[in-house]
Amino acid sequence: MAARPATPASPKNVKVKEPAPGSPLFGCEHVQRLFNQGQEIMNHSIGHYKMILRGIFDSTPVVPQTFTNSQGQPTTCLTSTNLCLQCPTNLTDEERLKHGNKTSHRFYIDSRSGSLYCQVCDDIVWDPTLEELRVRKIGTGSFSGRKRKHDELFPDAMKEDPRYIATNTTLASCRANGLRGIYNAGATCYQNVVLQSFLHNPLLRNFYLSDGHQSSECGVSYCLSCAIDDMFQDFYALENTNGYTAANILSGFWISENKAFENLVTTREQDAHEFFQFLAEELHERNGDGKKPESGSEHTCNCVMHQTFYGKMQTDTTCQNCSGTTHAVQSFLDLSLGLESLVQKRKKAVKEKGGNAPPLTLIDCLDEEYIKSDKCDYRCHKCDSIQQARRLTSIKRLPNVLSIQFKRFEYKQGRHDRAASKIDDPVSFPLQLNMLPYTHRVRAKEGREGRELERSCTYDLLSVVVHVGEIETGHYVSYCRVGDQWFRFNDHNVRLATVSEVLGAKAYLLFYIIRSLA
């Protein structure tokens, strides 16, 4: 005769915590009403509360911060959300009241702390039964109150692999991590995207957070470097997720005696690339040797801006008559890559051959500028006359942070005025970029030494600036990497972004950081 199958154990009924002298039995009269509706309701409420606590304290902090917006899209919020105790719903503060009125659900759990909020009381309530579960979960990792031993947590294979603990450790969600938006002060989105790229640049962050420029000891009035220093302190020293107002940075440009900054005073949309150049120049003068870098010169300085963004470019010009070659070296802040000729060539090829043109890539643009040579007129000192020459530009020294601009805005002189147009064609770009082929050392090394050289020229994508819309009425947004996650910054609004979203953006500016420093 077959053995009778075991009967599943009946669910264990939960009980409220025994009353203690001076402590209430329930957090509020509304919790009491909920628990007194019956044992089944109490079992479900406490069981659901345990599940919510596991989601908050056992998983990545992003999970309890993610909710579905009104368009049905998953959205991650930097501030606390509200996890309904009576159904599996995650809500913002704005949606919580609507949900309560529609469903009569009155209890919500804070997605960061696990605290219980009563909508009728409109306050956090301290319920002894639920609070004991929360404290046990935080203190021991379980609801039994018994701290699990290391042997119970990991099997033998995992205990011997330190990588398991490293990969399963998350940073505390309460730390200040620089994830804040910047308010638009009237067509200032072009400044906000550049400031966000600075805030998430580890070299600049380390400089300013280690008192590289001490605003308390600076005697320069309306110093822009002091304003940047204050911004870094505000973003990384304060536990604040509200938007930031960059008033001191704006006033630093408005009051500056530098005539190049005059157009930034207007309320019209400006160019983010120009602002980046202005800001880099001003911060160099405040933290460096005070000399303005001359165009085309090999300027060298040990300031934080030169150590971060500046590289050196070498141009070799070879006379076609005598084969004599001259070399010229100059400093560069960024690489400006043309798009118009490449786009026109592809359209022409499609028209002639038919089919679809392959998408334009960052590598195509770099090849055009730094691998192909071009013809030019050249006064050869050896021939003592104007001769045809071949000119090849390569990079002599790579910067620690490589900034790249796609020339999307073209200005052509018309009959009466200058006509402006925007090249909106997509340009694909990689997460990792090998810049060795564009250096003048590429042909010098092979074998093992060449592989080491290639590793030293590998960059990782750090941030992306995107221009959306037309030239005069457009808007700037940016994507920045924080650890292994990407975030989209749209003025004061910040949300989590996917890698595919970042790589699919029509980039205007790209910032890559050298891997050996990343």
Grouping H, G, I as helix, E, B as strand and the rest as coil, residue 101 is: helix
- Please say whether the beta carbons of 380 and 387 come within 8 A: yes
Instruction: Please give, one letter per residue, the 3-state secondary structure of 475-506.
Output: EEEEEEEECCEEEEEECCEEEEECHHHHHCCC
d(CA 230, CA 199): 12
Question: What are the residue ranges of helices labelled H in 414-518?
Answer: 447-456, 499-503
Please report the pLDDT score of residue 243 as a whole number. 86
Please report the pLDDT score of residue 5 as a whole number. 45
Please report the pLDDT score of residue 2 as a whole number. 46
Please report the pLDDT score of residue 299 as a whole number. 65
Please report the pLDDT score of residue 353 as a whole number. 73
Fold of the domain spanning 29-145? Herpes Virus-1 (3.30.40)
Please report the pLDDT score of residue 10 as a whole number. 45
Q: Where in the chain is the domain with CATH 3.90.70.10?
A: 175-287
Please report the pLDDT score of residue 150 as a whole number. 46
- Please say whether the beta carbons of 311 and 395 come within 8 A: yes
CATH class of 175-287: alpha beta
> Which run of H or E residues covers position 361?
strand 360-361
d(CA 368, CA 341): 10
Tokens linked to 210: 């280690």
Please report the pLDDT score of residue 261 as a whole number. 61
> Each residue of 86-103: b (16+ CB within 10 Å) or e?
beebbbbeebbeebbeee
Grouping H, G, I as helix, E, B as strand and the rest as coil, residue 319 is: strand
Please report the pLDDT score of residue 497 as a whole number. 92
- Please say whether the beta carbons of 367 and 435 come within 8 A: no
Helix 362-370 with 340-353: angle, nearest 10 deg: 110
Tokens linked to 367: 């090849």
How many CB atoms are located within 10 Å of the residue 443 CB?
Answer: 10
Please report the pLDDT score of residue 290 as a whole number. 64
Please report the pLDDT score of residue 6 as a whole number. 43
- Please say whether the beta carbons of 249 and 221 come within 8 A: no
What is the total residue count of the chain? Answer: 518
461 residue type, one letter: L
Tokens linked to 11: 């669910």
Q: Where in the chain is the domain with CATH 3.30.40.10?
A: 29-145
Please report the pLDDT score of residue 435 as a whole number. 92
d(CA 195, CA 178): 12
**Tens digit of pLDDT per residue, the chain (518 long)?**
444 444 444 456 778 877 777 677 888 999 999 998 988 889 899 989 999 998 888 877 777 777 777 777 777 777 788 999 999 899 888 888 889 989 999 999 998 889 999 999 988 898 988 988 888 888 777 776 554 444 444 555 554 555 555 555 555 444 557 788 999 888 889 999 999 999 999 999 999 988 788 777 787 878 889 999 989 988 887 767 788 888 888 877 777 666 556 666 555 668 899 999 989 988 998 887 666 655 555 667 889 999 999 999 888 888 877 877 778 888 899 999 998 888 888 888 777 777 677 789 999 999 988 888 778 777 787 787 787 878 888 888 999 999 999 999 876 655 556 667 888 899 999 999 999 889 876 654 554 555 566 667 899 999 999 999 888 778 999 999 998 899 999 999 999 999 999 999 999 999 999 987 64
> Which run of H or E residues covers position 331?
strand 325-332
**CA 168 to each of CA 34, 65, 158, 164, 165: distance values in angstroms, whole numbers, following the listed order:** 37, 19, 11, 6, 5
d(CA 232, CA 222): 17
